[in-house]
Structure 1
Amino acid sequence: MNTIKPATPGKLRVVVMGVSGCGKTTIGDLVARELGVPFLDGDSLHPVENVAKMAAGTPLTDDDRWPWLATVGAALAQAGDGGLVLACSALRRSYRDAIREQAPDTVFLHLHGTKEVLKARTEGRTGHFMPPALLDSQLATLEPLEADEAGFVVDIAAPVADVVAAALTNLAAVVRPAPDRAGTKPRQPGVDLAAPPFNLDGDAIAWVEGTIGAMTLEEKIGQLFINHNNSYAPEYLDGVLDTYHVGGMRYRPGPSAAVQEHIRYAQSRSRIPLLVASNPEMGGAGSCDDGTFVSTHLQAGSHPDKGIARQMGQVAGVETAALGCNWAFAPIVDIHYNWRNTVVSTRAFGNTPEIVVERAKEYFDGISESPTACAMKHFPGDGVDERDQHVVTSYNTFSYEEWNRTYGHVYRQMIAHGVQSIMVGHIGAPELSRHFRPGLPDSEILPATLAPELLQDLLRGELGFNGLVLTDASLMVGLTQAMKRKDLVPATIAAGCDMFLFFRNPAEDFGYMMDGYKSGVISEERLHDALRRILGLKASLGLHRKPLDELVPPVEALSVIGSEAHRAIAADVADKTVTLVKDTAGNLPITAETHPRIRLYGISGGADFTRADPLAYLDTVKEELEAAGFEVHVFRTAEQREAAGEAGVNFMTVLAEEATGDYPEKYDAAFVFANVKGFAQEAAIRIKWSSPMAAEIPWYATEVPTVFVSLNQPNHLIDVPMVRTAIHAHAGSREAIRAAIEKIQGKSEFQGTFNDNVFCGSFDTRQ
């Protein structure tokens, strides 16, 4: 047994090493729990390329391993105050040396087992990307710990409890006593403004402290709020700023010139510079009416080129900065595990933590080229439940261990990458909450916005996040169903959030927050910690150094919004990401020469809260098809025909008229373009046809070549499994529609990729 070198005082770095199947994850997690420090599975740090090779049974080369080992070493070096236990094979001496280059006092716990024991364990595992066939390769690679290496060996043949006990005995010389987690709520350290993500110098810190010291109590309470500006009228802003002294705002999108002038007026009327937020999840679109739509998050994850996400971030940063925005409620770092979940289906980069981390970093780097802070969302992670927090509380039901390997990995990586703020979702996490509060009954499982064990013990404590935490929109029923408004408003801040997103009734909510402070629900310490983070974020953006009249760019800056260069980026992204999901009937290509007469169907799902015409995109589709030489016949429902003044029609007459034996004589092919949304209004979204047994349902797939094109949701095959040609174009933009039609004709190749969620777990959708 080797001599253990002392760890840095107050910090223990342990690598649990060994070949696949030795129990690194199980033993490592149990040891970490006993020591009261975080656990991280090093496998979760592999880039996507390494995961793909291992899943295919291909051994990694050293060139594959060096970047991964550097990431492992960095994770250990950046561990919080207590330290970190990390599972990593670390089979060669050179690999361990690479880790020690960044974390010199790392202790290696080698879990040793015979080949027979290891083989039995690897063959019994499921859901892991290391197949048993690679065991021989790993054993041949293994170089045992040498005498000068800090570490020790434990035999895994013993029961798990004995293995853990042996490990703890060997670590006793360098570990502090394990805390009693049951019922404890460790005090979290206050903000460090000199540390990431703020990185403030002395002058900036002095501005933060001096500003807080000069505030009235009303101004301090006001800084906790982010207002949703429901009017562009100057007198409206006067009332909000003079009465409630808000710390930030998000405006209602409109024309870029009006938005910029609105922001300019707001900044001119605020004594303390405002954080001005936008939702640039898709580029400049959503921040103003004329902003550039580049791609959805899913679209940016649906091509091998990770630079698409960076381009989306770059355009988002340039266009929103031109408006005067300085805070992006993005990137979205949810993982789309459940195909039924439609609130993040297009708003997640993919269905694995590896793709989410890779693309989120690219987006962050792109938008960070502009003077913009990011708020990634939605902690503790959406995509497991199928429901939407806008209308009901949803839950991330992963175990503590599974969460750490997936969502936890994403948050650790992004925190280390420098993200400045985190938006907390109204998402409960029962197993996470019970990890920190054992025995917590179902009735006390709260959404993360109200759960101190998730915000303080996990996010601030184990993940070591030093930045700003804000709630998701406070009008969402996922929050409001939890408790009375007067209680939940201050409870969010007391639990660990620093800012509260949107008033319901400004006078009431401001009063509730003030009452919460005066009654002690919000302590003086918690209030001032939140204020330091809010002002610290403002100072990190340099807002404290700018005159009020320079916080918003001049009108001329708006020329970048919707520019020709940005539209060219959007067109290139559309061309790369239009995806052929299936063409099992071999219908493609379809051209105006081979199939001149097209029956065109549009599916929208109905109008949503934006009140925009849900079928407006169909005019664009028709224009693009006609430009390609097709003769287009647009189907209209009974309701549409009645609205146009036609009498005597109903769904039965339309069906009888449409579904006739001469259909193939009238039309050469059928195209169905679906742009189904419903975000924030339904717990889940599926196709809703115009009537029972509607004439637009693809009964005609057996009559003529039928092509189904989704312009939004990726999960429609569950409702149209009978179509044999399915395309995901991702967006209803002209660029995406044009690219899809070009590819249908065979004028360009399909380049987009998809994950298995598109088949919705049903055999018939693949046919």
Structure 2
Amino acid sequence: MTEINLKGNPFYLKDEQIDNIKLLMSKMTVREKVGQLFCLLGNYSTEQEIKEVIENYRPGGMMFRPQKSSSIQALQRYIQEVSPIPLLLGANLESGGDGIGTDGTFYGRQIEVAASNDKKNAYRLGLISAREGGAVGCNWSFAPVVDFNKNFANPIINVRTYGDNPDTVISMAQEYMKACQSSGMAVAIKHFPGDGVDDRDQHLLTSVNSLGVSDWDKTYGKIYQAMIDNGALTLMAGHIYQPAYTRYFNPDVKDDDIYPGSLSYELLHDLLREKLGFNGLISSDATNMAGFSSQGKRAELLPQAINAGCDMLLFTRDLEEDFNFVFDAVNEGVISTDRLNDAVIRVLATKEALHLFLKQRNNTLVPEKEALKVLKCPEHVKWAKELADESITLVKDKQDVLPLTLQKNKKILVFVIGDVVSASGKPPVSSIFITRLKEEGFNVTVFDPENEDLKDLMVNGSVKELKARFDTVIYFANVKTASNQTTVRLNWLKPMGYNVPWFVHEIPTIFISIANPYHLQDVPMVKTYINAYTANEYVPAILVDKLLGKSPFKGKSPVNAFCTYWDTHI
């Protein structure tokens, strides 16, 4: 084990804070220490449930999915009131306060921030996340994502990154971290040892970072070293293999004994602790993901994660069972007393670095209800609109169709692709876009496959009739990145994909993606292609201003939107 430096980066604790940790450690039972290793998913809606969990297990942290902010705040206030040791309360604050409060600001995806090519927007993302997350009682942001889009076919990171350039990732992620941690919100840089290399999702299997040692050092290693050197308090270990570095530290390792970051001593101790010098808290990614669970027997995996170097375990399958797996491993010596104490000290040190014990004494761990006014406040909304204006990117324009005018583009046919309620509850946004077009005087027809007249026109109709009915075609694609799906590609209607833009040489056709920036691979024939990156309530309206020439396109693509295909440039 690497010795903890409580006075050094990233904790910077004072003597009295260190003394408080020592006092707590001397008083805690083994069972209470084991509890500190768990960050639970907050599937609790009543105070009685929360009280029983805290009394029985003494968890070190908890994370709730987004709910109405007043409900989340009340639950988290109660949690901190009944827990003897304050909890780390986490949230996926990757795109703003919406990561914890459904009424919070959905500022923008990280890739939208990168497309603005302005670090101030990354700082604003961090500040909004810290302000709004903090208002409901959170103190731990499971962000920023510091992966990069090495492989455009990766189905899970996509819009969640700052693009495909490690230097951009570093500059943007550091601004987010600076805003967050200066506001009392710990960050968790993720997903070590780095997602985005292969085209699979660690939620569904154990994915692979297949870079060699030298290439890893120049990319992911460079990113993590910069974030560590600049004070990242915590790090999230992903369920991702890094075979090259595992073999570098353990040349005789058999393939069957290579484990992902969350379970690998070579990656967490030898690489992360020793080579990169990370002194902060390591949390696993969710242990109920298949990328973790499929690696072995759960009774062995949870202790293995702790022994590999994880200080906290994110989520459980069955709380009682998982707790006992770890508790029994401690009692049986599978997890040593030294390793248990090492992990708990890092958990407590993180809490001290956030001044949670001081806030507990002052009864300020969770703000009063008045603090909720910051969620979606005028300043944050203004910033979100400015980000949209600065980031929307005209990737390709080979037909001079822009700007749209009522004289030449009056009759518009809109194909909406995707744009359904997301897994996290985010609503469709195409209606905002369509309404704005109508307000500008355009006659807009939204394609409906249940409309037999329109369907027949697309399947069997003449080109002459198509051109008589419409002047312009716009595709509005909101195909969201989400866990538990294997691709983020376009799917077309049967028969023969009749809604594919086969008519690009007959009618001016524009394709807009308001999420995944890589759709050009599926519509290379389109001559005008726009990436807008974030399906929030601000982007669609500003898109219309861009289409009409009221505002110039300012965004710069942070990824290779042409997806390495030569024909996408034509």
Matches within 5 A, 1:88-487: 188-487=1-300
What is the Cα deviation at residue 695 of structure 1?
A: 3.3
Residue number in structure 1 paired with 2:446: 634
Residue number in structure 2 paired with 1:154: none
Letter in 2 for 1:581: V
What is the Cα deviation at residue 287 of structure 1?
A: 1.6
Matches within 5 A, 1:536-575: 536-547=349-360, 549-575=363-389
The farther-off stretch of 362-371 and 502-511 is 362-371
Alignment partner of 1:391: what SS? coil
Deviations 1:258-303 (A, max 9, x none): 1111110111111100101111111212221011122211111113
Find 1:488's aligned residue among 301, 321, 327: 301
Aligned partners of 1:478, 1:500: CA distance in 2, in Å? 14
Aligned partners of 1:678, 1:422: CA distance in 2, in Å? 23
CA 1:511–1:691 in structure 2 vs 1: closer, same or farther (change >3 Å)?
farther
CA 1:502–1:547 in structure 2 vs 1: closer, same or farther (change >3 Å)?
same
Residue number in structure 2 paired with 1:705: 508
What is the Cα deviation at residue 380 of structure 1?
A: 0.7
Alignment partner of 1:734: what SS? coil
Letter in 1 for 2:364: E
Aligned partners of 1:315, 1:279: CA distance in 2, in Å? 13
CA 1:476–1:293 in structure 2 vs 1: closer, same or farther (change >3 Å)?
same
8 Å contact kept, 1:338–1:757: no
Residue number in structure 1 paired with 2:432: 620
Greater RCO (CA < 8 Å, at least 6 residues apart): 2
CA 1:659–1:322 in structure 2 vs 1: closer, same or farther (change >3 Å)?
farther
Letter in 1 for 2:430: L
Aligned partners of 1:674, 1:517: CA distance in 2, in Å? 51
Aligned partners of 1:659, 1:286: CA distance in 2, in Å? 48
Alignment partner of 1:500: what SS? strand
What is the Cα deviation at residue 612 of structure 1?
A: 5.7
Residue number in structure 2 paired with 1:7: none
Find 2:397's aligned residue among 556, 578, 583: 583
Letter in 1 for 2:529: A
What is the Cα deviation at residue 694 of structure 1?
A: 3.4
Q: Does 1:679 align with 2:482?
A: yes
CA 1:552–1:723 in structure 2 vs 1: closer, same or farther (change >3 Å)?
same
What is the Cα deviation at residue 709 of structure 1?
A: 0.5
Aligned partners of 1:310, 1:499: CA distance in 2, in Å? 28
Aligned partners of 2:306, 2:454: CA distance in 1, in Å? 53
Deviations 1:681-730 (A, max 9, x none): 12332112243423322123222111111011011011111111000011
Aligned partners of 2:461, 2:59: CA distance in 1, in Å? 58
8 Å contact kept, 2:416–2:430: yes
Residue number in structure 2 paired with 1:603: 417
Deviations 1:7-30 (A, max 9, x none): xxxxxxxxxxxxxxxxxxxxxxxx
Letter in 1 for 2:541: R
Residue number in structure 1 paired with 2:532: 729
Residue number in structure 1 paired with 2:553: 750
Aligned partners of 2:278, 2:398: CA distance in 1, in Å? 48
Aligned partners of 2:378, 2:426: CA distance in 1, in Å? 25
Deviations 1:629-657 (A, max 9, x none): 2111111123xx6xxxxxxx699757436
What is the Cα deviation at residue 599 of structure 1?
A: 0.5
8 Å contact kept, 1:582–1:725: yes
Matches within 5 A, 1:59-74: none
CA 1:730–1:311 in structure 2 vs 1: closer, same or farther (change >3 Å)?
same
Residue number in structure 2 paired with 1:527: 340
CA 1:592–1:732 in structure 2 vs 1: closer, same or farther (change >3 Å)?
farther
What is the Cα deviation at residue 660 of structure 1?
A: 5.3
Deviations 1:311-340 (A, max 9, x none): 111111111111111111111111111111
Letter in 2 for 1:486: A
What is the Cα deviation at residue 239 of structure 1?
A: 2.3
Q: Does 1:665 align with 2:468?
A: yes
Letter in 1 for 2:28: M
Alignment partner of 1:581: what SS? strand
What percentage of aligned pairs have identical amino acids? 38
8 Å contact kept, 1:392–1:683: no
Aligned partners of 1:295, 1:249: CA distance in 2, in Å? 25
What is the Cα deviation at residue 546 of structure 1?
A: 2.2
Aligned partners of 1:354, 1:756: CA distance in 2, in Å? 13
Residue number in structure 1 paired with 2:523: 720
Deviations 1:512-548 (A, max 9, x none): 1112212222111110000000000001111111236
Letter in 2 for 1:746: G
CA 1:689–1:231 in structure 2 vs 1: closer, same or farther (change >3 Å)?
farther
What is the Cα deviation at residue 734 of structure 1?
A: 2.6
Letter in 2 for 1:741: V
Alignment partner of 2:235: what SS? strand
Deviations 1:87-145 (A, max 9, x none): xxxxxxxxxxxxxxxxxxxxxxxxxxxxxxxxxxxxxxxxxxxxxxxxxxxxxxxxxxx
The farther-off stretch of 429-438 and 395-404 is 395-404
Alignment partner of 2:535: what SS? coil
Find 1:594's aligned residue among 396, 408, 411: 408
8 Å contact kept, 2:390–2:555: yes
Q: Does 1:763 align with 2:566?
A: yes
What is the Cα deviation at residue 427 of structure 1?
A: 0.5
What is the Cα deviation at residue 304 of structure 1?
A: 2.7
CA 1:389–1:605 in structure 2 vs 1: closer, same or farther (change >3 Å)?
farther
Letter in 2 for 1:580: L
Aligned partners of 1:662, 1:757: CA distance in 2, in Å? 37
What is the Cα deviation at residue 458 of structure 1?
A: 0.7
Aligned partners of 2:231, 2:20: CA distance in 1, in Å? 22
Aligned partners of 2:243, 2:453: CA distance in 1, in Å? 49
8 Å contact kept, 1:231–1:252: no
Deviations 1:412-459 (A, max 9, x none): 111110110100110000001000000322222211111000000110
Alignment partner of 2:438: what SS? helix
Alignment partner of 1:339: what SS? coil
What is the Cα deviation at residue 678 of structure 1?
A: 4.7
What is the Cα deviation at residue 511 of structure 1?
A: 1.0
Unaligned 5+ runs, structure 2: none
What is the TM-score of this pair, normalised by structure 2? 0.96
8 Å contact kept, 2:163–2:559: no
What is the Cα deviation at residue 406 of structure 1?
A: 1.2
Aligned partners of 1:465, 1:572: CA distance in 2, in Å? 36
8 Å contact kept, 2:241–2:261: yes
Deviations 1:563-585 (A, max 9, x none): 11110000000000000000012
Aligned partners of 1:360, 1:411: CA distance in 2, in Å? 10
